[in-house]
Amino acid sequence: MDVTIYHNPRCATSRKTLELLRKRGIEPRIVEYLKTPPDAAELKRLVKLLGIAPHALLRKKEAKEAGLDKLTSDDALIAALAKHPIAIERPIVVKGNRAALGRPPEAVTKIL
């Protein structure tokens, strides 16, 4: 089954998560989400797969800088994250109908 990582190569945690996958013999499809941001529909899917509220997907500092920390509606937040992908917590690993946030990187092993 295919594995996808929503990855930021400048992030040490994201790089460690990618390395963990590769050490397990998994070559994931890499989505550099800052270059090709997920749209609102994909973000809704990711939040559902992760089993979290959209606010749990926020990187606090970046969300505050972009003014996203003030949004209360899930739909408004999803739309804003699609426009400001820098505020999306990373990395996200998806396998089939399961997803995990790689914080810490070992957290993704539960879906592999």
Question: Out of 4, 7, 11, 45, which one is annotated catalytic?
Answer: 11
User: For the chain, where are the E strands, in sequence order?
Assistant: 3-7, 29-32, 92-95, 98-101
For the question of residue 11 being annotated catalytic, the response is yes
Contact 88, 57 (CB under 8 A): yes
- The distance of Cα 63 from the centroid of its chain, to the nearest Å, equals 14
Q: Which residues are catalytic?
A: 11
